Structure formats: structure tokens, C-alpha cells
Structure 1
Amino acid sequence: MLRRLSIATRLGLAACLFLIPIGYGLWTQNEAKSVQIAQSRWEVDGASYLRGIDAVHAAIARALVLRQPMDSGGLAQTLAELRERYGGLFGTDDLSLELEALVRAKDRSPTKIEARRTLRKLTQQVANRSGIPLDPEMASFYLGDIFVLRLADLRELLVELRGGDSPGDVGNSTGAALFNGRIESLLQEIEEAVNSATGPQGYPAMTETLNETFQPFGLMMGHTMTMLDNGATNPGLLAGTFDAIDHFARAANGQFVDLVEARINRLNRERLRSATIAGALSLLAFAVVVAIVRMGVIGPLRRMTDALGRLADGDVTVSVPETRFDDEVADLGQAMQRFKKALEDTRSLSDTVVQATLQVSVATGQAAVAIAQVSDGAHGQMASVERLRRSFLETREAMTAVAAVSRTGQERSRDSADRLAAGLADVGAMAEAVREIAEMSNEINRVTVAISKLAAHSNILSLNASIEASRAGEHGRGFSVVAGAVGTLAQQTLGLAQEIAALARRSHERIARGLEVAASVGDRMQEVSATMAETDRLSQTIVDEVERQRQSVDAIEEALMELSHISHANASASEQIAATMRGLAALTDDTRRRAEQVVRTEG
């Protein structure tokens, strides 16, 4: 199965065999050491915080035991500075604020008792959260126990023994003996813790440094115990005892910090050493991979390269090297076999290529000539299209002029139609007036007939009067003259009536003729009006048709413009194709010469 794996797969497997365990081990060790380093730094910060808290506790205890005034403001300021630096880290802000308020309170015993209790509570909280009581190394564990618990308990016992909390309880010998026993027990525990920290299982190298403060501490505590057994009080001795306790507490705290920092440095060195070992193993793995590459890849590739060089020189008798694995190198060998076969086939195809290139060269020249002719035709077509486009432009301008003339004629025709309509109205009014005149003529005829009748009767009466006057004789002579005058007047009236009747008849005839002419004129004007309306419709039709023709001409012009662009493009393309064909002909000639050279070289 290994023979079927590719080179990349084999190299990857080889690298994984070395690097995966190394990487996993390095990661686990680094994580474990990182956790230990973080915990150790946490303990260092906790020890620094506790050093400041212990200083405040020592100041309060000293003031109570020695009956000295206490700098409440300074101690509260110290606590505030510690809170600002470490409170957020250990989550003790609220408790520290409460302690600051108690320390600033007036100097009352209940307040001081509560302040000391809160101070011990803060100390225990910081110690637990920093992990000092759970330190894994014996020396640092016992040192933490000393400066966190034992020395603080010792100060509290001294405060109680001096009556700082309940003076009445230690006034008798039984109470004093009880407190002395508790102090001796606590001192014994401190001594055992020091011995364990500096013993074989602890850190013996710090014995001398720690004894520099522990021995004075033990000596001062011995003097203090003697003083307490005697029931005496020596403020100077008590002050020295507190100084010894403070020095020993600072020394234990400092040794604890030194041990933890030394542990941090050791862990960092171990982590660096692990990384160095991992790097060395990685280099070893790299060397193994390089060896595998040299044996499985580089050697076969060199043999393949030599064979390929001989094939490139035209030596088809060379044999392709065999490979040990069925991998990419084997694929390369198969490719070289195909290349060798192709090289042999190339020789047989060289002559064919030469002949084909000759034919291609001739065909390319002919194609170049044909394309040149196509280019000339494209230029001629482009000129014809341009002339046709100019003709259509002139046609469009003429059609625009025709449309303008048609619109003008249409407007004038509409004006004439309006005037003809007004004339028709006037002719109608005139015909109506003529009809009224005809009716008046008829009335005149009737009056004339009546006058004629009256004239005839008057004439008859005149004759009768003349006859009667002649019968009357001389008496009727005057009446006869009157009758003659009346007869004459009747004759004249009859003549006038006849003339008027004749005039009325002629007027009636002319009026009838005028009515006929007016009717004929009205009919003619109606025909003219209809003709003008038809002319207006035809003019509008002409305008619409001219507009449509103009739009068609515009579309044709756009098509001609597009055709002109196409002709330009065809001409340019023909020129480019002609140039390409000339280049192809030159390339074909060059290929033919190279093929002939290859044939001569192989021959």
C-alpha cells in the first residue's frame, strides 16, 4: 500500500509521525506551566497586598498594646492605596471600604475590635483568593502560613493580654497563665513551620537568611514571656517585640515572594527548555524528511533529468529509468515514454509539416488578395451608402417643405371656407329679403287691381254724372264739368294703375328670377363649401402622410448611418484581416523554414 502513496502523502505522514506527538506534548506542557505561572503571579500579588494589610494590622496592634495614639488617617490612606492597586484584582473593594471607615472612626475600643476583625477577614479573603494557603511547595506553604495566620494571631494575643479588648479577663493569674499557654503554643507552631520550610523537604538554602530575623524574634518573645510570667510591664520591651514580629513577618513575606518568583523563573526556563527540545526534535524530523526526499525523490528525478536531456538532444535510443515506487516519479517516467514515442512520431511528421506549410503559405497569399478585394468593395459600399444617405437627407428636406406648404394651403382653405360660410349666410338673408319684396309686389298688384276697379267705377260714375248733367240742362252744367274732371282723373288713375301693375309684374318676374339665381348661387356655394371641406381633409391627409414619410425617411437615415458604421467596421476589419493574413503568410514561411531546418537536423 505504501508503494501507491504519492510523494506528498509520504512526506506528510513522515512529518506527522514526528511532529504530532511533539506538538501535542509541547502544547500540554506549555498549558500546564502557563497555569502554574499565572497562579504563582497571583500569589505574588496576594503576598504584596497582604504585606500592606499586615503593616496596618501591626500599627493598630502596637497602638493598642503600647497605649499610643494611632494615625487613623494615614492607615486609612494606606488601605485606600492598597484597594486602588489590588482591590479590583481580588474583589475586595467593598470590604476594604468598610475597613477604611472603621479605621477613620473615633478611638473607641468597640470600633477598634470591629476594625481588627474586619482586617483579619480581609486578610483571610485575600489569602484564599490568591491561593497562598494552597501553595503546592512545602517551603512557600509554611511561609505563607506564618505571615498570613500565625504572626497575626500572635499580635492579637498580645493585644488581648494587655487588655486591649477586655482588661478584666487577664487581671488574675489564671487568665494570664491561659494567655501565656496560648502564646507558647503559637510560638511552637511558628517554630515548627520555620523548621518545615527550611528542612530537607522545604528550601534549606534560605535557612540562614530566615534565621537573621527568626532568631531575634524568638529571643524577644522569650523576654516578653518572662516579663508576662513575672506580671511586669515594660513598654520598651513590648515595642521591641512588635518590631521583631514586624521584621520577621516582612522577612517571611519576602522569602515567600522570592520562592514564588524563583518558581516562575524555573517554570519559564522549563517552558523554554521544552520549546528547545521540541525545536530540536522538529529539526530531526526535518532531517529525516530530507533523507526520505533525497532517496525517494531527488535521486530518481536526477536520473529522469539526464534521460530527458538526452531525449531533448534527439537521442531516441535512451532508455527511461525505472522507479521503485508507483508515485509521481513513476508518472513522470510514463510521460517520458510518451514523449519519446512522440519524438519518434515527430520525425515522420516533419516532411508532412513542410509540405503543409507550403500549401498554407500559398493559400494565405490568395486569401490576403481576396480580403484586399473585399476591403476595396467595403470602401465602395461605404461611399455608396454615404451618397444614398445624402439623397435621403435632401428628400427629407423636400418633404418638410411640402408639409409646410400643405399646412399653409390647409390654413388658407379653412379661411376661405369660413368666408364662404359667411357668404352663404348673406345669400340666405338676401333670398329672404327678395321673398319679402315679392310678397310686397303681390300686395301692390292687389292694390293696383283695386285702384283699377275704383277708376273704372269712377269713370262710369263720371259718365252717368255727365248724362244726368246734360239732362239737367243749364243747372247741371257745373256738375257736368266736375263729372268730366272726375272722368279724366279716373282715366289717369286707371292708366297709372295699369302702369303700376305692369311694373309690379315685371318686378315680380325679376324677383322670381333673382330667387332662382340666389338659390342657384346658394347651391353652388354649398358645393364649393363641400369641395373646400374635402380639400381641407385631403390637405390634412397630405400633411399626415408627409409626416409619416418623413419618419420613414428618418428611420431609413438611421439605418443608413448604421450601415455606414458597419461598412466602416467591415473596411477596418478587412484591412486588419489582410494585415493578419500577411503576418500569417510570413509566419507560415518562417514555420516552413524551421521545419526544413528540423528535417535537416534530424537527417
Structure 2
Amino acid sequence: MSIGKKLNIGFFIILAVLVLSLGIIFAQITIIDQKVEDTVDNRMLQVQVSNDIQFELAMQGLYMRALMLENTESNRNDLATYQQQLDDSIAELQQLTTKETAEFQEYVSILNDYNNSFNDAISDVLTALDDNNEAAALMFVNTQARTANIGILDASKDIMAYQQKQLQIVKKDTEASVTTASIIAFTAIAIGIIISILAIVLVRNFITRPLRNVVSHADAIAQGDLTIPSLQHKANDEIGMLANAFNTMKDNLHRIVSNVQQNSNQVSQSAMLLSASTQQMNASSQEVTTNMVEVADLARISSSAAAETAKATDETASGVQRIAESTQTLNETSVETAAVAEAGNAAIVTAQHQMSTIEQNTRTLNQLVQQLTQQSAEIGHITKVITDITDQTNLLALNAAIEAARAGEHGKGFAVVADEVRKLAEQSKQSATQISTLTDTIQADTINVEKAVQSSLQSVEEGVTIIDNAGTSFANIYTSVQQMTAQIQEISAASEEISASAEEVSASVAEIANGADNAAAYAENVAAAVEQQSATMQEVGAISVDLADKSHELQQLTAQFKV
């Protein structure tokens, strides 16, 4: 049964008691009114008529004696007037006896009989007076008239006594009715008060006490305690519906807070992993930067060596020309050429070692760049996981806000917490988005670096091939110079071959110089890209630290709840 029906039943019972009491009181008032009306309209009128009869009887006796003393027309008329008034009063009194008892009607009948006897005596007196027989008239006055007058007077007194008796009875009945009405009124008031007290007790037991339980549980949840037991309310009323809705809200809030705590822990762990990955990538970037600096230095050295080699080949070409011009200085020139060839061969050997070193460093740099690409992909995957977690956290915060809104006033504290959780989730999502953007930039830069490194590796491989060819050429030159003394006759042909070889060596050395310059430029570009990548990874590390802080704040907010 609903609370409204319970309250309606209580109010209807109170209303029924009040209506019944008012009905009984109204009936008693009606009885009292009837008795008062009977007293005023009937009893008092009969008393007044009885008084009029006594007055008219006295006046009638007075004028009858006045007529005996002085037989005048005026006395006759006055006697007749009061005689008629007495007859009218008796007639009126007879009309008022229709609802009276037999005793009162008997008194009125006796009064009427005596009045008729008195009227007969008056007629006899008047007849005797008309006959001038005063003695007979006096006899009628002293006998028949006097007896009738005394009878009328006694009858009127009996009527007065009867009316007094009836007035006392009415008075007692009226007092009894008033007493009954008062008792009924006080009884109705007492019953109404008792029923009202019972209604208040029932309302307290069925409404106030369950509501206090709901309020106490709401206060506990507002303080963050979600471990309280569910409300128990067996009645199928509005309080029961409220208790069920409250239990559902508590369970949903418990589930949401638990999920938020788990997600915040995952976000914190992911942020720590991201921070560790960024630190590792920073270390790798620093190592790559160091290697690229070394590569650039070696490329510059190779460029200097190539320049020296080109200069040496130019001098060799000049020597060959001088040999062609003057055979006298051939031996000296050949010795110088041998020395120069030996120095060139040593430079070529040095350049070969340096190019081998550049090739190894470039290959190492390519491997590091590939590792950097893989780590950037892992960061993108971690960032996606963080974005999914923040989206789920935002959805859970939205669900918490909806559940708090359904709770009304008791859910305001949860709405504030849910809003803070939602803001933290949005900030986490923004940070994760920034990380994703930076990761994409890193991946793009890494791809460019990888391409540049591959191009540099190809150039280095070509430089190694050219250096090898130059080494072979310098070996041939050195052999030719050694054979120059024994093969003086072949000086011209040898000079031409040396000149051609020198030109080839010069071209090769120029290509080596250009390759070394390109390798240095590529190394500088790679170093700049790695430095930019290092700065980007530092930003990623700062964002991961900020994400960890936000996750810690989220954990502190959810730690306010006991789950």
C-alpha cells in the first residue's frame, strides 16, 4: 500500500469521527432548540394566557361588583368587554392544548365549564337587575358567580402549576441534552486527538524513520563510504521505491568509482612506461647524435684527405709533363714521383680506413634509426591505449554525473567529483593527443632521417669503391715509378699512361671529395634531426610526467571513496 493511501485512510478516519461527532452534536442542538422553542412558543404563551385569564377574571369580578353598586351602561359594557376577553383567552388556551397531556386538557375543560357557569350567572344577574330585583342579583353574585369565579381561579392556578412543572421538566431535559452534547463533543475531541497521535506515530514509523535511514546512508555516501550495506525496506510504497533507487545509485556509483580507480592505475602505469620509453629514446638519440658528430668529423677528414690527394695527383700530372719535356731530370722527377705516389698511396690507405669507419658508423646509425622508428611506433600504441582509457574514464564520469543527477540534492557531491574526473579525463585525453601528434612528428622525422642515412650509406659505399679504385691506381703508379729507371725507353708511353691515370685519379679524388662533403652534410642533417627528435622526446617525457601527475590527482579523488 502506498504512503498516499495510508495517509488518506488516516485522514478519512479522523474526518469520519469528526463528522459523526458533529452529527450527534447537531442532533442534540436540534433537540435543545425544539425544547427551547416549545418553552418559548408554547409554554410561555400558555403561562401568559393563564395570567391574562386571571387578570380578566379579576377585572370581570370587579366590574360585576361595580355593576351591583351602580347599574350603569358603562359598567355593563366594561363587564361585557372583560367577559369577552376572558372567553377569547380560554378559547386561545384551548387551541394550545391540542398537543398537551390529558391532565392539562382536563384543567382547561374545568376552566371552560366554570367560565360558562360564570357567564350564566352574569346573565342571571343582568336579568335580575333589569327586573330591578337587586336581592336576586346579589344572590346570584354571591352564589353561582362566586363559585364559578373561585373555580376559574383555581383552574388557572392549576394550569400555572402545571406549566411550572412542565418548565422544570424542559429545563432538566435541556440541561441533560447540553450535558450530553458536551460529553459527545469532548469525547469526539479526545478521539480525534488519539487518532491524530496514532496517525503521527504511524507516519513516524512508516515515513519518517525510513527517510532518516535514507538520509543517513546518503550522508555516508557523501563522505565517500560506498561499503555501507543496502537499504532494507519491505513495504511496497514510495519509500520502498526510493530505497531501491538509492541502492541502485549506490551500486552504480560503486562500480563507476572502482572502474575509475582501475583506469587511473592503468593510466599511471602507462605514463610510467611512456616516461621510461622516452628516457630510453633520449639516450638512443644522444648516442645517435654522438655517432653522427663522429661521422661528420670523419667526413671532413676524408674531404681534406681527398683534397690533398687531388693536389698530389695534380702535381703528379705536372711531373709527367716535365718528364716529357725534359728527360734529364727524369730520375729526380721519378724519385719525387715515387715519393709522391707513396704518400698518395698512404693517403689512399688512410682514406680507405676512414671510409670503412664512416660505413660502419653509418650502418650503426641506420640500425639506431630503425630502432627509433620501432620505439616511436610503440609510443603510438601506448598513446592509443591511454586515449582509449581516457575515453572510457570520460564515459564513466558521464555515467557518474547522470547517476548523481538522478539522486537530486543527495547527488550533488557525486556530481562535483564526476565533473572533476571528467575534466581530468579530458586533460589526459588532450595530453595523449599531444603525445600522439608528437609521436607522428617523430615518426615522420625518423623516416626522413632513415632515408637520409640510407642515402649517406649509399654514398659512403660508392666512396669506398672509389677509394678502392684510387688505391689500385696509386699502386699501379707506385709500380710504374719503380720500373721507370729500368724502362727509360718507355718513358713517353709511360708518361702518357701516367698522365691518363693521374687524370682518372684526379676525377676519382674529386668524386671522393664531393661524396665526403655530401656525407658530412648528411651527417649534419641527421644530427640536427636527432637533436630535434631529442627535444621532441623531452616534450613527450614532460607530457608523460604531467599525465602521471593527472593520474595521481585522479587516484587521490577516487581514494576519497571506500569501495
- Alignment TM class, shorter chain as reference: 0.3 to 0.5
Tell me the TM-score normalized by structure 1.
0.36
Taking structure 2 as the reference length, the TM-score comes to 0.38
